[in-house]
Structure 1
C-alpha cells in the first residue's frame, strides 16, 4: 500500500542529552489528510521518510545531529532501509515488532553494516524485548505509560543491561529532573519550551540591552544612536560581529567593526540577529545545538518563508513573520509571561495579536508550525493549512529550505 507522497510533511522532534544540548531528532512523517493510524502504522510512512531523507541527504534534514527513524518489521526486512546512512541514523524498532528468528537475523545483518538500533516505548520487559535487547544500543521508555512508582525499578533493571536509556514524552521540568536523577541519558519531549514562570523574575541587564536595541530599531532611531547603543555593550558587539560574518547572513568580505556590520546588515537583518542573540548566553558563542535557540530560530525562518510563499516579494511582511516566530518562545527563555516581555519591546498590533492570541495571519501561520512540531496530523493541520491557503507539499518544501538555512547557520557559528 502506498500513500500519495505530496500529502506528507516532516516532523523533527528534538532529543537532548544530559547537558540539555541537541543530540538527535526523531523523524516522523505525517499527513494532513489521513488519520493518525493510517500514517504511523503503515509501511508507506517509513518508506516515505527513508525515500525523502535519502534523496535530500540526511545531513540536510538533521544537520550535525543523529536521526532516529521508526521502522516496522516490513521496513526492517525491506531493501530500501539500506538507503539510509548507517553513521547518521538509529533505527527505532516499533513496539509492535515481533522477535522472529528471521527478524533477529536481519537485525544482525544490518548491525554488521554499521546500523544502530533503539527499542521503542518500553514499559516492561516482555519476551520480545528480551530477545531483541542484546542487539540494540538505545532503550526508549515512555514515562507517561509507566506508573511513577514502577519507573525507578524499571530504570534500575534496564541500567543493568548496559544500554543507553532515553526518556520520551518528558513534558515538564520536574519530569526532566526526575529522569535525570534516575540516570536517563537522552530526553525527548518539549519540557525545555514550556515556560516556568518565576515570581519576581526580572529581565537581566544583558537581555534588557538587546531588548532596548530592538526598541530603538522599531522606533526608527538614527544609525548613530543605534551604533552607540551597540558599542555600549561589548558582549553584544562581539556576538553581532560573529553572526554577521557567516554565510547564513549573506556575508562576503569579512566585517571587523560594528559600523561596518550595521551598514552591511541594514535595519531588518540587524533586528533578526539581535533576536537570535536573545537566546545566547551573554558573551558565549551562539550555539545552535541549544534546543530553545534551534526551535525559536526554526520558527522564525519557517514563518518568514511561509509569508514569502503567501505574499511573494513582500519583504517587510516576511521580516515581521520572522519576528513572530522567534519571539514566540521568549516566555520559556525568560521565565516571564509573554505579555510582560512584549511590554519592554514596541511591537506592531498584529505581532502582539499573533503572539498572545494566535490571531491574524501571523497567528494562523504560528498555529501551523506548532502543530507540525508536535507531529499533529489529520484534521487540525488540514484546517490550519486551509486558513492560510497553503498545501502540504508547499509546507514540506518550506521546511526543507528552513532546515538547510539552519544547518548553514549552525556550521558557520560553530
Structure 2
C-alpha cells in the first residue's frame, strides 16, 4: 500500500478546492478566488459545499504571509442559484467571503430583490463577466460591490467603457484573465482596482541577462550538491564564502519550518542531521527568494507548487520526490529572473531529467508538474494520476500551509541579517 504523508492522511474533504490569487495594483494578494467542486461537477458552491469546506477555507486558504506578517484576505466564492435564493445561508462570515453571482443568471425580479436583500444584510457581491454594453446588467450596478471584466473577451474600448460606467456607480472593478504584464499595466491605467490571471508567471525575458549576486554562489552550491563526490566539508567551504548566506541557511534550518529538535550551528552539522537531499531543498529555496523587484506572491506560488508536486509524487509512489519538489519550485523561475527557461537551463546545474521536465513537461517529473498546474487552474476533470481525488485537495492545503511557514522562516532570516 502506498504510504500517504502523515500530515494529510486523516484530513480529507469531500470537495476539491483550489485558490486563484486576486492582486492589488501593488501586486500584493488582496483576495483569493475559490475554485470549488463538490459532488456536482461544477465550480459553483452549493449550500452543502459551503458547509463542508468553510472551516478549512477560513483556517488555511484565506491566510498568507505577506509584507512581514500573516494576514487574512477575503475570498470570492462562486455560488449556485440555490445559495442566492436560500432563505438562510450557512454560518458565512461577511468579512471573509465575497459572493460571486454566476454569469448568465436570469435576472428575474425575485433574484434581483434577493441579491439586494443580501447586500443590505452586509454581504459583498461580485458580478462575473460584466459587459458594460449589456443594458440588462445595469440593474445590478446599484446592488453589487465589484464587477469582474474578462480581459480575454473584451477589447480596449469595452474595458474603458466598463471603467467609466463602474466609476459612475461607485463599483470596484476586477480585470480578469490577464495573461501579460502589458495588459496588466493597461488595466492599471484605466483605473481597475483588482487584477487576476497568470501575468505574474509570464516572464519578460531580458536578452543576455545572467543570474548574478549571491545567486552565483547558490548555483555553485547546487552544482556541488548534484555531484556524486559531494561532501559536507566541500559544501561548507562554498557556503562560507558568503557569511550572510550561511547565516540565513542556518537560521531557516533551525526554524519551525524544519522542526529539528537540536540547534544546528554549522552547515556540515545541518547536513549530518538532515542529509544532502534536504540541504538541496533549501539551496533551491534560497535560489527563488529575495528578488526585490518581484512580488512575494510569485515566491509563494513557487513554494506551493513545489511542495504539492513533492507530496503528490509521494502519494503516487514515485521515486526521487525531492526532484519533483525542485521541478515544481523552479517551474516559474523564468518569471522570477526574467530569463527565458531555455537560457536558464544553461545556467542552472540540474540533471537532464529535471531540465526535460521544466522544458517539455516530460517523464514522471513533468507528468506530476502538469497535474499540479491543471489543479491550480481548476481543471479538476482532467486530473488522472490519483484515483481518490480527495488527496489532491489535502496535498494542496498542506502545501499552502507549508509555504506560509517557509516564507515566515525565510523572512526571519532576512530580518536577522
Shorter-chain TM-score: what band? 0.7 to 0.9
Counterpart position of 2:285: 276
Q: Which residue of 2 aligns with 1:392?
A: 389
**Counterpart-to-counterpart distance in 1, 2:209 and 2:348:** 17
SS at match of 1:11: strand
| Alpha-carbon shift at residue 320 of structure 1 (Å) | 1.4
User: 1:146-176 CA distances to partner (integer Å, 9 max, x unpaired)?
Assistant: 2223322331232233332110010011111
Q: SS at the partner of 1:122? A: coil
- Structure 2, unpaired ranges of 5+: 1-11, 64-71, 412-417
Cα deviation for residue 408 of structure 1 reads 3.5
Correspondence for 1:230: 239
- The match for 2:252 is 243
Counterpart residue number, 2:131: 123
Task: Establish whether residue 187 from structure 1 lines up as the match of residue 218 from structure 2.
Answer: no
Matched length: 391
Work out which of the residue numbers 303, 317, 332 in structure 1 matches 2:335.
Answer: 332
Q: Say if 1:71 and 1:93, in contact at 8 Å, map to a contact too.
A: yes
8 A Cα contact 2:46 2:82, kept in partner: no
CA distance in 2 between counterparts of 1:270 and 1:135 reads 54
1:62 pairs with 2:50 = no
1:15 to 16, 22, 25: 22
Could you say what secondary structure the match of 1:248 adopts?
coil
Deviation string 1:239-286 (CA, Å, 9 cap, x unpaired) is: 43443343222244665665665555432222222222223226x7xx
Give me the whole-angstrom Cα distance separating, in 2, the residues matched to 1:147 and 1:68.
25
Name the CA distance, whole Å, in 2 between partners of 1:373 and 1:215: 31
* TM-score normalised by structure 2 residue count: 0.82
| CA-CA distance at 1:79 after TM superposition | 5.8
Aligned equivalents of 2:356, 2:101: Cα separation in 1: 43
User: CA separation in 2, counterparts of 1:368 and 1:7?
Assistant: 19
Answer yes or no: is 1:218 the counterpart of 2:220.
no
2:179 matched residue in structure 1? 171
Going from structure 1 to structure 2, the CA distance change for 1:389 and 1:160 (only over 3 Å counts) comes to closer
Q: What is the aligned counterpart of 1:24 among 13, 28, 31? A: 31
Equivalent-residue separation in structure 2 for 1:278 and 1:164 (angstroms): 37
In the other structure, the counterpart of 2:313 is 307
Q: Check 1:19–1:215 CA distance in 2 against 1; reply closer, same or farther (3 A cut).
A: same
Q: Which has the higher helix share?
A: 1
Task: Provide the C-alpha distance between the structure 1 equivalents of 2:24 and 2:219, rounded to a whole number of angstroms.
Answer: 30
In structure 2, how many angstroms separate the alpha carbons of the residues matched to 1:30 and 1:154?
30
After superposition, the Cα gap between the structure-2 partners of 1:188 and 1:377, relative to the gap in structure 1 and judged at 3 Å, is: same
Q: 1-side partners of 2:145 and 2:273: how far apart?
A: 48
Query: Which residue in 1 is equivalent to 2:377?
Result: 374
Matches within 5 A, 1:338-349: 338-349=341-352
Deviation (angstroms), 1:375: 1.9
TM-score by length of 1: 0.83
Could you tell me which residue of structure 1 aligns to residue 401 of structure 2?
Answer: 404
Tell me, yes or no, if structure 1 residue 39 matches structure 2 residue 10.
no
CA RMSD of aligned residues (A): 3.1
Q: Which runs of 5+ in 1 are unaligned?
A: none
